[in-house]
C-alpha cells in the first residue's frame, strides 16, 4: 500500500512557463525514480499538490519542498497511510493557471476542465478527496481582479 499527503504553499517569486517547465521535468524524473505519483496545481501564485508513494520517500520529498526557497507558507493539510493510489499513472500531472497570463475565457475553460476532472475522478482515500475539494474551492473562488 501507499502513503499520501496533500499540501499547499505560496510561490516566493512568480515563475514563467520556461522555469515551470524545467521544474516539472526535474520533478517528473525524480518522482519516476522514486515511484512517486500525484498531481500539482499552480494557481494564482500558489501550489496545491498531492503526493503518493513509499512513506519515507514522500516525506523526504515534502521536507525538501518545505526547505525550497521557491516556496513559502508550506503546510500539509492531509495525510493517509496504507491507501490505494488515486493517481497511479500520473508521474506528476500539472495544471497551470495564473492571473498574469490568463484571460477570463481561458480561465473559464480551465475551470470547466478541472471541475470535470475533479467530478469524474473517484478518490481512493480521504487525502485525495480533500485535494479535489480544495482544488474545486480555489477554482470556483478566483481573485476579484481576474
- This prediction's pTM: 0.80
Q: Please give the pLDDT value at position 41.
A: 83
Has residue 146 got a pLDDT over 70? no
Summarised one tens digit per residue, pLDDT across range 98-144 is 555 666 777 677 778 777 877 777 888 888 888 988 888 887 776 55
Taking CA atoms, 126 is separated from 4, 14, 68, in Å, by 10, 31, 27
Asked if 123 and 129 count as a contact pair (C-beta separation under 8 A), the reply is: yes
pLDDT tens-digit series, residues 46-92: 888 999 999 999 999 999 999 999 899 999 999 999 888 888 876 55
Residue 145, CA distances (Å) to 92, 100, 104 in order? 29, 10, 10
Amino acid at each position: 500500500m501507499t502513503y499520501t499527503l496533500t499540501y499547499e504553499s505560496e510561490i516566493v517569486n512568480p515563475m514563467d512557463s520556461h522555469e515551470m517547465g524545467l521544474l516539472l521535468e526535474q520533478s517528473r524524473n525524480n518522482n519516476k525514480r522514486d515511484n512517486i505519483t500525484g498531481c500539482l496545481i499552480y494557481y494564482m501564485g500558489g501550489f496545491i499538490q498531492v503526493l503518493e508513494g513509499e512513506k519515507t520517500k514522500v516525506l523526504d520529498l515534502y521536507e525538501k519542498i518545505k526547505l525550497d526557497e521557491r516556496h513559502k507558507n508550506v503546510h500539509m493539510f492531509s495525510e493517509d497511510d496504507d491507501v490505494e493510489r488515486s493517481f497511479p499513472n500520473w508521474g506528476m500531472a500539472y495544471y497551470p493557471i495564473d492571473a498574469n497570463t490568463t484571460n477570463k475565457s481561458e480561465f473559464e475553460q480551465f475551470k470547466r476542465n478541472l471541475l470535470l476532472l475533479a467530478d469524474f475522478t473517484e478518490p481512493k482515500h480521504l487525502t485525495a478527496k480533500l485535494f479535489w475539494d480544495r482544488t474545486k474551492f480555489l477554482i470556483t473562488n478566483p481573485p476579484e481582479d481576474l
